[in-house]
Chains A and B, each alone.
Chain A
Amino acid sequence: MPPARLPWLLALTLLLAACQQSEPEPLKVYRHAIDGIPASLDPAHADDVYAATLVTNLYDTLYRYKYLARPYELTPSLADGFPEVSEDGLTYRIRLRDDARFADDEAFPGGVGRPVRATDVVYSLKRHFLPDTRSRGDWLWRDRIVGLDEGTRLSDPDAPVEGLQVEDPLTVKIRLRRPYPQFTHTLAMALSAIVAREAVEHYGRSFGVNPVGSGPFVLARFDESRAVLEPNEHFRRGVIDLDAEGYDPARHDRFGLARIDGLTFPLLDRLEVHFIPEPTTRWTSFTASSGVDVVMVPPELSERVLAERDPIRLRPEIASRYRSWHGPEAGFVFHGFNMDNPEIGHHPDPGRAARNRALRCALRDAFDWQARNRAFYHGLGQIFPGAIPPILPAYDPDADADSISHSPRRARARLAEAGWQTDNLPRLVYGLESSVHQRQMFEQFRAWAQAIGFPASRLEARAYASFGEYARALGTRQVDLFLLGWTLAYPDAQYSLQLFYGPNAAPGANSFNYANPTFDQLFEQASSLPAGPRRTRLYRQLNRIVIEDCVIIGSLARTRLFLWKPHVLMLPDRDMVGGHFLRFVDIADQGG
């Protein structure tokens, strides 16, 4: 290089350096990864874990679960303390914090966020019953809150609802039709997040991509690949009290959490949530220095990550490079039948209904949960009958395991006895998300079905591009056989058994479209009971009913195995704490 150009080159370098200095990179950036893309950021549509992860950070809920306490414990978030509940368990009086504000947005006069008031809580709940909202969460409160009975559709947000009253600007009074001990838990769900009416009306149909909440973060970017969140400057929740969050040095010291005690929320300068559906792609991103900071270990890589499975022990090279946590999920995965299809579900003719039941039971007998566990869940999942997973107090360790045992012989016998033959078996649509794993799971299911004489040509795979589309297909009863994961929003079997409650039929949580008056009656009875042996007995009886009816093929509770980079100080949670844990995430100095 000619010497005369050297000064120019130096000057240019300095200029570039100066430009960089004028726009410094955020100091604390955490890159989270989830395996699906949220279809909407509207709380009324946040009934899946992907949307809920973001919604609970953009909006706030009245309650949330403590960060570290296990079993899970509720704690107030937007509410100022727990609700005052009347003696009869029917009236809840909830007071709001006086320092909560919505984030600044053009929806508000002057673009400045206003305080959150009791009217917002009432509006947010009422909104689920406005037809335009197309809520996916109305079933939580339908027929529970006085005035929001079965079939209620509000024509106007100003229409009075007897059970939803504003007592003063910061106090809301909610009146229930009958005791609902899980009610406070529903107010910790993303579906119950508090929205501002101005924002909903300002953005209309595009409200789902223009969130305006009072959560710890605001949305800076949202597309098919990621969401970028930045701190909400109006978010005031005092300082972090780790003891109150359930901190236990013996369990949590190794995560480096002690240093966040006494700091203010949120701790990050930028939160990126990357949507990476394919497990190995997430892994590749995780192992790259500029990639995501956390990963749930994909089953393909369990051999590379695990030195031992029982008890779980990581390979030394993994243990030395990353922080880790493993534990049972608060939820489960299962296959289900669409009982609304008379070809396989409910049928007015009792004879045909019995034959359909035999077919469902045969397909359940053909299912090999042990093989599914080995292939897709590291072999670490817990297989259990029905819909009450081991994490719940109502779980019955002595329940009959016939429904989860692989028995092709019994399956063939059932088919023969019910008169099912190759030529009269119905054609069924199996719904799946368009991913390699889901396709493989379909192939596995089809192979098992073939092994009992169910022709492959009668089982049609219908792939949906995203979870959102798949959920919509379930909501419109387009598939006869489906695979779902169900994450508990509160630690009570009522939450999983409501999957079979008749009034919750699609588009509600009852994707089975199961309609059994006996079940419904017992479910309603159990839902009103406080925790105790009587309620547990009823829950178990309900579980036995759905097992007997062969409505569900299941289930399996996965073991979560998280790895994350050592500079990230957190305890990840995908279950009940869910997205709420992100407000506690901190970044250590890269050296420390």
Chain B
Amino acid sequence: MKAPATTHKLTAGGLRAPLAVIAVYLVAAAGVWLGWWGTDWSGIQASGRQPPSPEHWLGTNLLGQDIFSRLLAGTATAFEVGLLVSVPATLLGALVGAFAGYFPQRWPDAVLMWLTGTLDAIPFYLFVIALSYAMRDHPAAMQLAMIMTFWTLTARIVRAETLRIRQLGFVAAARVSGLGSWQIIRRHVVPHTVHILLVQAAILFVAAIKAEVLLSFLGLGLQDGVSWGIMLAEASQEILAGHYGNFVAASAALLLLVLAINRMTDELQRSADPRSRGSADPAARHEATRA
């Protein structure tokens, strides 16, 4: 049976600007991954604290490293962390949420929701910092710590959506046609939460970047690389002395990316929200509100 359509028209005009900004960042990060630019971010290329110049567009830091190269490498770091965290955390949240929502009020639901509630009860940054610190010898400690905490909101939202979906006719039809629970979840439930997962992935992407910046700023994040957080930590030692290169570069990059992704997320959310689509189905509005 064909499932009811949940896709809808996105407002192309509203998405164009944030997507353009994100594309610029993506190109910057891809260039670093491909070794086209930003590869010599750790090299000492000039004397310390040079002002912007044709050779060093944003000047150099205390050690004489090129701030622009570090900005580009930091962009790649941000995207790496964002993708490495948001994709697994979203998938994990989707699976947990769908499984819990498909068996409401039964032991899988109770156990998974207890776990979700327990993790949610711990202050987020404190938990990530504690986990990062406890696993600090692991190269991906920070990313693992974030994945372990970021999936819970997605799980709650998907669970709520699954509670709605499992009542729909096409799921009942799949059930009577002999499909098992796991197949129904995989083939019929999860695909119908894709609009939610896209929004959640985008939210988690930016949340992961912000968390990485904070942890690196505190010295608990990236150990063997450069990130906007490390640049901001360096800036914290320089601003009083009137050196703003690191601060302006890293904070502007972070601000612009967060604004662009937030705007994109808003657009995605709006287009996924039945109320904004003018749906006449009061039940759908109710479910959306619960979600």
B14 part of interface (Cβ distance < 8 Å): no
A301 near B230 with CB under 8 A, answer: no
Q: Which residue of A lies closest to B137 (CB)?
A: A462
A303 part of interface (Cβ distance < 8 Å): yes
B233 part of interface (Cβ distance < 8 Å): yes
A300 near B238 with CB under 8 A, answer: yes
The docked-state distance in angstroms from the alpha carbon of A440 to that of B223 is 12
Q: Which residue of A lies closest to B233 (CB)?
A: A436
The SS class assigned to the B binding surface is loop
Residues of B within 8 A of A284 (CB): 240
A465 part of interface (Cβ distance < 8 Å): yes
Residues of A within 8 A of B248 (CB): none
Residues of B within 8 A of A343 (CB): none
B236 near A300 with CB under 8 A, answer: no
A440 near B234 with CB under 8 A, answer: yes
The docked-state distance in angstroms from the alpha carbon of A435 to that of B220 is 10
Chain B proximity mask over A428-465: 1 for CB below 8 Å, otherwise 0: 00000011110110011011101100001000111101
A157 part of interface (Cβ distance < 8 Å): no
B44 near A463 with CB under 8 A, answer: no
Q: Which residue of B lies closest to A300 (CB)?
A: B241
Chain B proximity mask over A248-284: 1 for CB below 8 Å, otherwise 0: 0000000000000000000000000000001110011
Q: Which residue of A lies closest to B41 (CB)?
A: A443
A374 part of interface (Cβ distance < 8 Å): yes
The 8 Å CB contact of B237, one of A374, A437, A448, is: A437
Q: Which residue of A lies closest to B48 (CB)?
A: A375
Residues of B within 8 A of A444 (CB): 44, 63
A298 part of interface (Cβ distance < 8 Å): yes
Q: Within the complex, what minimum Cβ distance (angstroms) separates A257 from chain B?
A: 31
B253 part of interface (Cβ distance < 8 Å): no
The 8 Å CB contact of A283, one of B224, B233, B240, B243, is: B240
Q: Within the complex, what minimum Cβ distance (angstroms) separates A567 from chain B?
A: 24
Chain B proximity mask over A460-480: 1 for CB below 8 Å, otherwise 0: 111101000000000000000
Given A375-B63, A435-B219, A463-B223: A443 and B237 within 8 A (CB)?
Answer: no
* Most A-side CB within 10 Å, residue of B44, B136, B237: B237
B244 part of interface (Cβ distance < 8 Å): no
Q: Which residue of A lies closest to B43 (CB)?
A: A447
A280 near B65 with CB under 8 A, answer: no
Q: Which residue of A lies closest to B219 (CB)?
A: A434
The total of Cβ contacts below 8 Å across the A-B interface reads 72
Residues of A within 8 A of B234 (CB): 436, 440
The docked-state distance in angstroms from the alpha carbon of A463 to that of B221 is 10
A304 part of interface (Cβ distance < 8 Å): yes
B269 part of interface (Cβ distance < 8 Å): no
Residues of B within 8 A of A434 (CB): 219-220
Given A444-B63, A463-B223: A278 and B237 within 8 A (CB)?
Answer: yes
B223 near A461 with CB under 8 A, answer: yes
The docked-state distance in angstroms from the alpha carbon of A280 to that of B236 is 8
B42 part of interface (Cβ distance < 8 Å): yes
Residues of B within 8 A of A439 (CB): 219, 230, 233
Q: Which residue of A lies closest to B45 (CB)?
A: A447
B240 near A447 with CB under 8 A, answer: no
B237 near A279 with CB under 8 A, answer: yes
Residues of A within 8 A of B220 (CB): 434
B48 near A374 with CB under 8 A, answer: yes
B241 near A450 with CB under 8 A, answer: no
Given A440-B62, A446-B42, A447-B44: A280 and B240 within 8 A (CB)?
Answer: yes
B42 near A280 with CB under 8 A, answer: no
The docked-state distance in angstroms from the alpha carbon of A371 to that of B241 is 19
Q: Which residue of B lies closest to A464 (CB)?
A: B136
In chain B, positions 231-278 with a C-beta closer than 8 Å to chain A are 233-234, 236-243
Residues of A within 8 A of B242 (CB): 304
The docked-state distance in angstroms from the alpha carbon of A301 to that of B234 is 14
The 8 Å CB contact of A447, one of B65, B133, B137, is: B65
Residues of B within 8 A of A298 (CB): 237
Q: Within the complex, what minimum Cβ distance (angstroms) separates A253 from chain B?
A: 32
The docked-state distance in angstroms from the alpha carbon of A300 to that of B235 is 11
Given A436-B234, A450-B43: A301 and B240 within 8 A (CB)?
Answer: yes
14 CB < 8 A contacts A-B: A279-B237, A280-B240, A300-B237, A300-B243, A301-B240, A303-B241, A371-B44, A446-B42, A448-B44, A451-B44, A461-B223, A463-B136, A463-B219, A463-B223
Extra inter-chain contacts (4) besides given A280-B240, A375-B62, CB under 8 Å? A436-B233, A440-B63, A447-B43, A450-B42
Binding site for B on A (CB under 8 A): 278-280, 283-284, 298, 300-301, 303-304, 371, 374-375, 434-437, 439-440, 443-444, 446-448, 450-451, 456, 460-463, 465
Binding site for A on B (CB under 8 A): 42-44, 48, 62-65, 133, 136-137, 219-220, 223-224, 230, 233-234, 236-243
3 closest A-B pairs by CB: A434-B219, A300-B241, A447-B44
